[in-house]
Amino acid sequence: MSRRTAAMAAMVAAASLVLAGCGLSGSEGDDGPDAGGGGESAESIAAVTDEELEGTTITMARFFGDCDDTTDGVTDIAEATTECEAIQILTNKFVAENEWGIEVERLGGAAWHSYYDGLNAALASSERPDIAVMHGSNLPDYASRNLIVPVPEDMGIDLADATQPASDAVDIDGEYYGVPFDTHAIVSHLNMDLLAEAGLTEADGSYTMPDSVEAFLADAQTFHEATGKTFIDIALSGDPMGSRLWMALIWQQGEDFIDAEARTASADSAAATAALEFINELADSGYTEPTRDYDASQQAFLRGESAIMYNGVWAVNQYAAEAPFDYQVTDAPMLFDEAATWANSHLWAVPVQDDADPVQYRAAFELAKFLYEHTGEWAVATGHMASSTSALESEAYQNAPHRTQYLNTATEYGHMQPRLVEWPAIGDLVHEKIEATWLSGADVDTALAELQTEITNRLQ
């Protein structure tokens, strides 16, 4: 391990550099160095010769976990059984196959919840990673502080092939500040055996997700009376899943709770109120269990205690392998006029360095390009949605289990959060305020009025 890598690893470990989960927002960090708009020019990065690139070593900051013991020397992603194995095997493959002999040293990545705390600590120092994974919802913060190198146009990275959600995630004011890796969104995971037991399936054994609040509640009542079990499991305690549902229901009404361009909020609108009242009705009627956190909710579903699991695409492979019942997938509940579900993305960003070495930058972008070009393999291995149209349309992706059942989510329904520098902090605030209504009995109108005030204050 190099001295630079050792120093960086120690800093990251001290700051708990770990998995931020699929879409969980991180805390706000200290301002980084003023890099003058992204450091070295795109022209000088693209001008780096193959000879100059040979033998370069770059450092990678990522989450997804630790799995060195199962991936050492493995380059076939078909052997991956977890997200960690998938990303590490892809990294191994890049190291084994790239023509310049570029080496990659990984930094951190064991667990989740505080990845961005560690990344912020690293970026505020002089020992920054050469490439770092980020969520699309977090990128505006780092780009606004000149911490990220814009993607050079002459690197051969075909962003014209990116899906619209993936492109939106890396586009800031018309310039790309990251290379897409995937998009991920909330879908409905179904226990078909329980739905059939309740008499809710069609003659062909399929289940049609209700398309209105009234129809959804009717199915929930029918199911609850027939089985005594939970109709829909949502991680409503200590997890942002409830706020993701709340946002999606607002978007489905053709509205938003924040106008990012105007920097105004409408978190106490009629649409926002209707969305929150619906979630509370699910909890009050026993159709969902509001005290379950992510793990408890997931385990209840896998034990056969609920008909629907409201969760991300990242769980598809796990549920397909572990569910002891007929498991199927469909899009998230679409209960109003416009189809929309919460979505986010993983992307690769290249941090600005003090020395602005174009060789290091180009090596980092070569890795980002490689990972983007292998988005389809990553998506098949993990359940995430490929970030390029060609990968989504590929035979390998279409033939992977359940992928066609949420293809509309990948191409049309996924809706990103507001593109705001302040979004990570505002996202935490949304979660805190609305969770109090079903866990602590806070009044819906009062909670949304407080949320409106606090968001407005942050945006002024």
* Residues 370 and 303 occupy one common structural domain: no
The whole-number pLDDT of residue 411 equals 87
Last residue of a domain, one of 398, 415, 432: 415
Give the Cα separation of 331 and 34 in Å (integer).
43
pLDDT tens figures, 355-396: 999 999 999 999 999 999 999 999 999 999 999 999 999 999
Give the residue ranges of the chain where pLDDT is below 70.
1-42, 108-113
* Residues 107 and 66 occupy one common structural domain: yes
Backbone angles phi, psi at 265, to 5 degrees: -120, 155
Give the Cα separation of 184 and 24 in Å (integer).
12
Strand partners, 328: 190
* Residues 149 and 45 occupy one common structural domain: yes
One-letter amino acid identity for 385? Answer: M
- Among 275, 248, 253, smallest CA distance to 187 is for 248
* Residues 180 and 246 occupy one common structural domain: no
Number of domains in the chain: 2
* Residues 313 and 373 occupy one common structural domain: no
* Residues 68 and 148 occupy one common structural domain: yes
The whole-number pLDDT of residue 111 equals 53
* Residues 128 and 238 occupy one common structural domain: no
In the three-class reduction of DSSP (H, G, I as helix; E, B as strand; rest coil), residue 353 is classed as coil
The whole-number pLDDT of residue 46 equals 85
Question: Token match 């190291």: residue?
Answer: 95
Compute the 3-state secondary structure of the chain and give helix, strand, coil in percent, each to the nearest 5: 45, 15, 40
* Residues 119 and 25 occupy one common structural domain: yes
One-letter amino acid identity for 326? Answer: D
Strand partners, 105: 59
How many other CB atoms are found less than 10 A from the CB of residue 119? Answer: 31
Pair of tokens at residue 110:
């064991």
Give the Cα separation of 172 and 174 in Å (integer).
5
Q: What is the CATH classification number for the domain harbouring 162?
A: 3.40.190.10
* Residues 132 and 276 occupy one common structural domain: no
* Residues 433 and 454 occupy one common structural domain: yes
Enumerate residues 6+ apart whose C-beta is below 8 A from 45.
149, 152, 155, 358, 361, 362, 365
Question: Token match 């770990």: residue?
Answer: 18
Domain that holds residue 449: 185-343+419-459
Pair of tokens at residue 206:
């399929």
DSSP secondary structure, 168-214, as one string: HHHEETTEE-SEEEEEEEEEEEEEHHHHHHTT-S-TTS--PPPSSHH
The whole-number pLDDT of residue 348 equals 98
Number of residues in the chain? 460
* Residues 392 and 427 occupy one common structural domain: no
Q: For residue 59, what is the DSSP state? A: E
Pair of tokens at residue 392:
């989504």
Question: Token match 């009705």: residue?
Answer: 281
The whole-number pLDDT of residue 17 equals 35
* Residues 37 and 147 occupy one common structural domain: yes
